[in-house]
Amino acid sequence: MISSSIDNFLNNFAQHIFRRPQPIPDLMIEVTDKCNLACPFCAQGDLQRKTMDMSRELFYEVVDQYIQMGGKVIRPYSTGEPLMCKGFLDYLKYARSKGLEIRFTTNGQLLSEKNNRQLLEIGVQNINVSIEGLNATEYESIRIRGSFEKLRKNLKSLLDLRDTLGLKEPVIRIQTVLIDGQQNNDYLKKFRTVWEPFCDSILFELCGSQGGNIDHELGVISKTDRTVCKFFFNLLCVNNDGTVSCCCVDYQRNLVVGDLKTNTLSEIWKNQKMQHFRQLARKKKYEEISSQCPSCTSISRSHSQASEYINRTGTFPVSVRLSKPQ
Ligand code: SF4
Ligand code: SF4
């Protein structure tokens, strides 16, 4: 009698576990595709569609479905500046009230004292701030329409407020794209001197092609340099109109794998299109997936190795090839 009850319990438990949809490791949510800046190395400026915010109903639905799947962390941004989304802070509040951890990336121009206070109250855990340049002239020639002084004031206000309240979060990370003329050790050192007082850590990235959406010296990645793109296996990005892409840089919606109007997140994660793309990605047959994948720097082994090297050693690699593959 006792053993059959235990068996029943174990059976029910196993069924419960296996029926439960598996979480998506990384969920991005495009709360808006609007942006207040016009950085020349970004594909946002090439968008032909009318930009818009994600509706509140859709955002809440995505959060609810993700929690049902056992999801833990969201990244509520994608092709635009998230603080341009009118309801953004309310959206974050909702996600936090459901227990989700929040990580987002911003250009920092809208981190006003008022917004910072709310972000601290909401309990956002991680904020990445994208910055290029060492001074106002450099910054403002790359981050077109941005203000260097405003950015520094905003970051100082966020860190001061966090310290005054005795909080450890959000953790502030500055991430910077190394463009031409900045790919050397001297620049890395200077960048750290200028920006370390305004953050907890710095991430250096080599200028990439954003999924092949912008012209880049790397051109098409040579077949011998290709790796398996991890995004097919660990990410979905819900676009502001409810379509779902399997890529974090799908500016032109070339990699849409489903739509929340007709399917759930869980169904899309396991659907035939996803399975097919995963098979092709494992074989590195990117031409058969989309026109943007073959020239995406995410699949360039040397590009990723070089970025990793810079962040591991704090110096620029001399032995890793960074320019056009043969
Ligand atoms: S890089 Fe960021 S801030 Fe610059 S245009 Fe693109 S989305 Fe906007
Ligand atoms: S290889 Fe394709 S799916 Fe992967 S990041 Fe690049 S464009 Fe996106």
CA 78–ligand 1 middle distance (angstroms): 10
pLDDT at res. 326: 37
Residue pLDDT tens, the chain, 326 long: 444 455 555 545 544 555 566 889 999 999 999 999 999 888 888 888 999 999 999 999 999 999 999 999 999 999 999 999 999 999 999 999 999 999 999 999 999 999 999 999 999 999 999 999 999 999 999 999 999 999 999 999 999 999 999 999 999 999 998 887 888 899 999 999 999 999 999 999 888 777 666 565 556 788 888 999 999 999 999 999 999 999 999 999 999 999 999 999 999 999 999 999 999 999 999 999 998 899 888 898 888 888 999 999 999 886 555 444 43
172 contacts 159 by C-beta, under 8 angstroms: yes
pLDDT at res. 229: 96
List Cβ neighbours of 81 (8 Å cut-off, separation of 6 or more). Answer: 32, 34, 35, 36, 37, 106, 107, 109, 110
pLDDT at res. 221: 82
Please give the Cα distance from 134 to 136 (Å, whole number): 7
pLDDT at res. 302: 85
Q: Which ligand places an atom closest to the C-alpha of 208?
A: 2
212 contacts 294 by C-beta, under 8 angstroms: yes
Verify whether ligand 2 is closer than 6 Å to residue 299 (CB atom).
yes
Q: Please provide residue 91's backbone torsions phi and psi, each rounded to the nearest 5 degrees.
A: -60, -45
3-state secondary structure 127-147: EEEECCCCCHHHHHHHCCCCC
244's tokens = 């779902």
Most informative mutation of 299, 300, 303 for ligand 2 (most atoms within 8 A of CB): 299
pLDDT at res. 312: 92
Ligand 1 atom closest to the Cα of residue 35 is: 8
209 contacts 297 by C-beta, under 8 angstroms: yes
Q: Which ligand places an atom closest to the C-alpha of 247?
A: 2
pLDDT at res. 245: 98
Q: Which residue has the tokens 């399917």?
A: 263
Helix (H, G, I), strand (E, B) or coil at 104: strand
Please give the Cα distance from 265 to 61 (Å, whole number): 10
Cis peptide before 170 (omega within 30 of 0): yes
145 contacts 181 by C-beta, under 8 angstroms: no
Ligand 1 atom closest to the Cα of residue 45 is: 5
CA 1–ligand 1 middle distance (angstroms): 65
Ligand 2 atom closest to the Cα of residue 254 is: 7
- The separation between the first and the last C-alpha atoms of the chain, rounded to the nearest angstrom, is 71
Please give the Cα distance from 25 to 236 (Å, whole number): 9
CA 110–ligand 1 middle distance (angstroms): 13
List Cβ neighbours of 201 (8 Å cut-off, separation of 6 or more). Answer: 171, 173, 174
DSSP state of 212: T
Please give the Cα distance from 245 to 80 (Å, whole number): 15
Helix (H, G, I), strand (E, B) or coil at 281: helix
Verify whether ligand 1 is closer than 6 Å to residue 221 (CB atom).
no
Most informative mutation of 245, 251, 255, 300 for ligand 2 (most atoms within 8 A of CB): 255
Verify whether ligand 2 is closer than 6 Å to residue 292 (CB atom).
yes
Ligand 1 atom closest to the Cα of residue 105 is: 2
Most informative mutation of 30, 31, 33, 37 for ligand 1 (most atoms within 8 A of CB): 37
Nearest CA to ligand 2 atom 3: 247
Helix (H, G, I), strand (E, B) or coil at 175: strand
Neighbour-count burial for 242-269, b at 16+ CB within 10 Å, e otherwise = bbbbbbbbbbbebbbbbebeeeebbebb
